[in-house]
Amino acid sequence: MSYARSHRLTLGETVSVAKTRSDLVARVPGPATRRSLEAVLLDVALASPDIRVPARDNIYNCGDHDESIYFLVRGMVKSMAWSRGGKRCMLAIHSGGEFFGEVGLLGTPRPDTAIAMKPSVVRRIPKARLIASLRGGDVFDDFSLRLIARIAEKQTVIINMATMKCENRLAVTLLELARQMGTRDARGLVMECITHEDLGLMVGTTRSRIGFFLKTFRDTGLVDLNGDGTMVIHERRMLAYTQED
């Protein structure tokens, strides 16, 4: 089943939109000689209907022929893949303001399943509408570079899985998630806790080892585990840790 809607983008300065769309906040660059890619994408997202997705519902499924891209208005979505033997792997976690599901634009069966981790609102943007808007906005090249950057991110994940020790992979994953969906305060980067199971699927290990590594990170001052369902990532310390051999 396919869902979709929109809330904010994550680049540039905040721009308010109409009252009827008061839950949608976009961050786009300031004035330029031509409209930014983010502004064009925001317009396309606004033209698509809001669809609410309950927690644990699928947004799209592996094998779907769905030539669309999705925009997450609010909530949290994970991208999951399965091996032929049934082994699970989590490819990414998306938070409000992100586009996801770009592989669908290729017109091939989707290799992953997108699942709402909590009640979410998304927007589905068909390929034809997206391409027409990008051409009209003279930002098609920018969008192509954006897709290439996303591919490069996936390659980095594969390299990390093949070359890093498990605890270092967890450190890199926590740091990236905190920068992506966390907020900064005097303590560091604060983000919602991700379940040990989901972290294990991202890192490629068991829940029990994730728990052991998190305890070690806490004891060595890399993270603080709060009682309110959040954790604090001490960015500089964690970055230094990820760069250790």
* Domain residue spans of the chain: 13-160, 165-242
Roughly how many angstroms between the first and final C-alpha of the chain, as a whole number?
Answer: 44
The pLDDT tens digits of the residues spanning 139-186 come to 888 998 888 988 888 888 888 888 899 999 999 999 999 999 999 999
Which architecture, in CATH terms, is 165-242?
Orthogonal Bundle (1.10)
CA distances from 194 to 182, 191, 197 (A): 12, 9, 8
pLDDT given at position 2: 42
pLDDT given at position 158: 82
Q: Which regions of the chain are under pLDDT 50?
A: 1-33
pLDDT given at position 34: 58
pLDDT given at position 22: 36
SS3 of the chain: helix, strand, coil, percent, to 5: 40, 30, 35
Cα-to-chain-centroid distance, residue 189: 17
The closest of 172, 168, 131, 169 to 44, measured between CA atoms, is: 131
CATH superfamily of 13-160: Jelly Rolls (2.60.120.10)
232-100-92-17 Cα dihedral, nearest 10 degrees: 10
pLDDT given at position 30: 40
Sequence-ordered alpha helix ranges (H) in 6-94: 37-46
